[in-house]
Structure 1
Amino acid sequence: MGERAREGRRRGSRARSRAGTAAVTAVLCLAGLLFATSADTADGTDLRQEDEDLRAVVADESHRVAVLEERVSALRAGVEELSGDEVPGAGSAAADALAVASQTAPAAGEGLVVVLADAPRETSLAPGYALQDTVVHSQDVQAVVNALWQGGAEAMGVMDQRVIATTAVRCVGSTLRVQGRYYPPPYRIEAVGDPEELRAALESSAQVQLYRAAARDLGLVYDVSEDDLELPAYGGSLRMSYASVPPSA
């Protein structure tokens, strides 16, 4: 091998060595940055506890909302009691009927109870399904609620809350959000009304049938039973913040 060739190899070796050193340095710097970021984010705690901490925060906030709603209901009842003698028609049959129609009075009677819950963790996926199909979503609960209203439900409750026709349910992670409160599965929907008509409405709902098909194939819970129900009065606001009457009306 000639002198020029040996010198070329030496130069190539030095260049590769410098490149390797630079690459190692860059990797070490990046690793240090990641460790520093992780330590700053964790603030000395285990990042794996973040999910449990978030659930605790959600539970605390849900409890706070429940306490505030109870205060609002108590204050509203006090206002109604103080102003009842001055309001024309207060305590009349018409006023009572209006309270029932607006869901602001307790309701009792026969009806249906529908329970929805996730499939067992060890469930095997049937062809055509994905992992997300093994859990109950907000649209599944909303489909049952809509079908029961369509079936003539006089009053309805989701979990421990009375709901009205404009109540929406939303998924937040693995929990269900209803009027500011958060609930894990199983989800219980209660509807006061004629049981046969309510069952017929569930049977005729295309969205409910999609959930029932997934329940058969994946093991999700879909349980319907009759019961004598007692539902509390709706304690939320009836004001529609985003609705207005057109000028032409």
Structure 2
Amino acid sequence: MRRQRRFRASRLGVMATLAVCGLLLATSARVSGGNDLRQADGDLAQLAAAQTRSAARKNSRIIDLQHQVDRLTAAEGVADGRVRAATNRAEARGRAAGLDAVHGPSLTVTLDDAPRGRPQPSGVTSDDVVIHQQDVQAVVNALWAGGAEAVAIQGKRLVSTSAVRCVGNTLRLQGRVYSPPYVISAVGDRAAMRSALGASKQLTIYRQYVDWVGLGWNVTSKDSDTVDGYEGPTELKYATVPHR
């Protein structure tokens, strides 16, 4: 009698297990829409590369359209004084917003990860041998503090809405992803900017790591250089409270 009950209990357990499996399979199929669920995760590196290419195409389209607007506005301003006056006001504001190129003497700071395969002292971790967001930001802040008129990272002009963000060991700026070395250039008083770099407490610590683990640090100057104007979108997007 006990054997029969065990058989029935076992059979009921198998049936319950199969029912649960069937429910899980049905739920999985419904969620995935018939596709492999692993595709949702995807390869993060490929996804980042695809998003970077998409952002570059869109940014290029924005630049082309802006150039068309500039040409049409200039042509209209020849015959219409009101358009010409409005254009002059817009150009003055554009210079203040960083939309125009700036020329003059420059400093360029290059940051890089420590060379791979370099023997490291005991206690060094993987975080110690790569460039971080705080390192790039420290250089930018020091250059601004030194009176820089214009600053660019990887040739991209920084404006008030620019945000320097590190994703893993890459830098995300204005919709694009960059790998080290990171090149930060600034036009302005070279002596004042160099002094500000030397006075930065964060960069003093960084230079200690240059000696300790081999992080890259190089400062060069030019008598005449150009930091191009910002060419990305200028429209601000921000969260709003929906009206009901």
Which TM-score applies when normalising by structure 2?
0.70
Aligned to 2:207: 212
Partner of 2:185: 190
1:161 is aligned, of 147, 156, 163, to 156
Deviation at 1:112, TM superposition (A): 0.6
Kindly provide the CA deviation profile for residues 190-236 of structure 1, in whole angstroms up to 9, marking residues without a partner as x: 11111111101111111111111111111000100002322222023
Question: 1:73 is aligned with what amino acid?
Answer: I
TM-score (norm 1): 0.69
Name which of 74, 78, 98 aligns with 2:68: 78
Structure 2, gaps ≥5 residues long: 1-35, 240-244
Aligned residue in 1 for 2:226: 230
Partner in structure 2 of residue 114 of structure 1: 109
Report if the CA contact (8 A) 1:174-1:184 is conserved.
yes
Q: Structure 1 CA distance, aligned partners of 2:233 and 2:57? A: 16
Residues 149 and 165 in structure 1, CA contact (< 8 A), matched pair in contact too: no
Q: Give the 3 Å change call, closer, same or farther, for CA 240–210 of structure 1 in structure 2.
A: farther
Q: Secondary structure at the match of 1:233?
A: coil
Counterpart-to-counterpart distance in 1, 2:49 and 2:237: 27
2-side partners of 1:41 and 1:181: how far apart? 28
Quick one: which amino acid aligns to residue 104 of structure 2? Answer: G
Q: Deviations over 1:52-84 (max 9, x none)?
A: x53333223212211211211221232233345
User: Larger Rg: 1 or 2?
Assistant: 1
- RMSD across aligned positions (CA): 2.7
Distance of 1:54 and 1:150 partners within structure 2: 37
Do the aligned partners of 1:148 and 1:198 also contact (CA within 8 Å) in 2?
yes
Please give the alpha-carbon distance, in whole angstroms, between the structure 2 residues aligned to 1:123 and 1:147.
Answer: 29
Partner Cα distance (1:41, 1:124) in 2: 42
SS in 2 for 1:58: helix
Work out whether 1:180 is the aligned partner of 2:175.
yes
Residue identity over aligned pairs, in percent, reads 41
SS of structure 2 residue aligned to 1:87:
helix
Distance 1:110 1:67 in 2: 32
Tell me, yes or no, if the aligned pair for 1:142 and 1:168 is still in contact at 8 Å: no
- Structure 1 window deviating more from structure 2 (59-68 vs 212-221): it is 59-68
